[in-house]
Homo-oligomer: A and B are copies of this chain.
Amino acid sequence: MTDETTYSISDLSQEFDITTRSIRFYEDQGLLSPQRRGQTRIYSRQDRVRLKLILRGKRLGFSLNECRELLELYDHTTSGSEMQLQLLLTRITERRAVLEQQLKDIELMQRELDSVEQRCREELQERHGQATKDSVA
């Protein structure tokens, strides 16, 4: 039951709202390697998943090199030697640490936005006399 679903480069660029240039660049950097029919690139469902992972990494501020490392974590799960598997566990731990720092950063930033928003609303209320409060029931 090999899934034969494929995508063109413009399919993917439209779906994910990126340029074809970017997709080819990711291939250049070794993050993708679609099949070819003649010259044209044919992307499999796996390729599409990889692209999704790349973009997710980018949204978290990871460089393309870091994204590639993440993809390699996936690929090499069963392949490498024992030492490589141990090393892989180490990389996973490192990655986790970064993610948890980001979680903390997000929480702090959310609280700061809360406080700015509140100060902002208070200021608006003062200017409005005391009309249009906070839509309290």
Q: How far is the CB of A75 from chain B (nearest CB, A)?
A: 10
A35 to B120, CA, bound (A): 28
Number of copies: 2
CB–CB B106/A102 < 8 A: yes
Given contacts A85-B124, A95-B113, A127-B82, contact A59 B101 (CB under 8 A): yes
Q: Which of A36-92 contact B (CB under 8 A)?
A: 53, 56-62, 70, 73-74, 77-78, 82, 85-86, 88-89, 92
CB–CB B99/A106 < 8 A: yes
CB–CB A110/B99 < 8 A: yes
Cross-chain pairs A/B with CB under 8 angstroms, 8 sampled? A58-B61, A60-B61, A73-B116, A82-B124, A85-B120, A99-B106, A99-B113, A103-B106
